[in-house]
Amino acid sequence: MKIGSPKELFAGEARVAMTPDSAQQLQKLGYDCLIETGAGLAAGFTDDAYRGAGVTVVDNAATLWDEADIIAKVRPPETAEAERLKAGKTLISFFYPAQNKELLEFCRDKDANVIAMDMVPRISRAQKMDALSSMANIAGYRAVIEAGNNFGRFFTGQITAAGKVPPAKVLVVGAGDAGLAAIGTATSLGAITYAFDVRPEVAGQIESMGAEFVYLDFKGQQQDGAATGGYAAPSSPEFREAQ
């Protein structure tokens, strides 16, 4: 069975679904691996690196979609990519089926299989496949680095011969995977960090990372926005307005 990864078509997308390292792991399991030429360049992987890992580099996307039994990519497929799906083939990618109902129906009509990586349940058994949390962790870290780059001075406080510079104050809204990564990064850079979440039970996690949990004064009590699986439940319009 062949697993292939095409070049991402979304503008500015640097990620690639298959690396030379992961390709070697797949080959140990008995799969043949294909990659579209140039697919890994933006992520720092050359075609020669893939060839060195035993991956077959194909000249174009059409050939890859035709030859591969399983297509692994990062972004949901563009319309042109979905049209290349054939009956019995399997697509593995972020898909967001609730937001892409027409695309999902299109793939079903083609009798293709779709595995949406964004729908992996947040349970211990599936932790290794939880790509969404991994990407959220990177996004939270990157958000603070970008904020620091645009802030204009150090996040940490300093006492110099020229005077005292107070530390920056950072507010992180939401304490999911991205939020916790942002809190950890801001705190490690020396900022005074505050965080808010609709789930009061995450206050302990926030405080354990050196940040202060911000309670919202909403009709005398904090609304509990917790849902199952570690996710937040939809909040009322009044609560969102107060927030």
First to last CA, the chain: 52
Residues in the chain: 243
The structural domains of the chain, with segments of one domain joined by +, span 2-119, 128-242
Joined tokens for residue 75: 């972004």
CATH T-level topology, domain 128-242? Rossmann fold (3.40.50)
Residue 172: helix, strand or coil by DSSP? strand
| Fold match between domain 2-119 and domain 128-242 | yes
Model pTM score:
0.80
Alpha-carbon dihedral sign for residues 76, 77, 78, 83: negative
Active site residues: 122, 127, 130, 133, 231
Structure token digits, residue 188: 């490690």
CA distance 96 to 107: 13
Beta bridge partners of 192: 169
Per-residue pLDDT of the chain (243 residues; tens, 9 = 90+): 999 999 999 999 999 999 999 999 999 999 999 999 999 999 999 999 999 999 999 999 999 999 999 999 999 999 999 999 999 999 999 999 999 999 999 999 999 999 999 999 888 899 889 999 999 999 999 999 999 999 988 999 988 888 899 999 999 999 999 999 999 999 999 999 999 998 888 999 999 999 999 987 766 455 555 555 556 666 677 766 776
CATH topology of domain 2-119: Rossmann fold (3.40.50)
**CA 185 to chain centroid:** 17
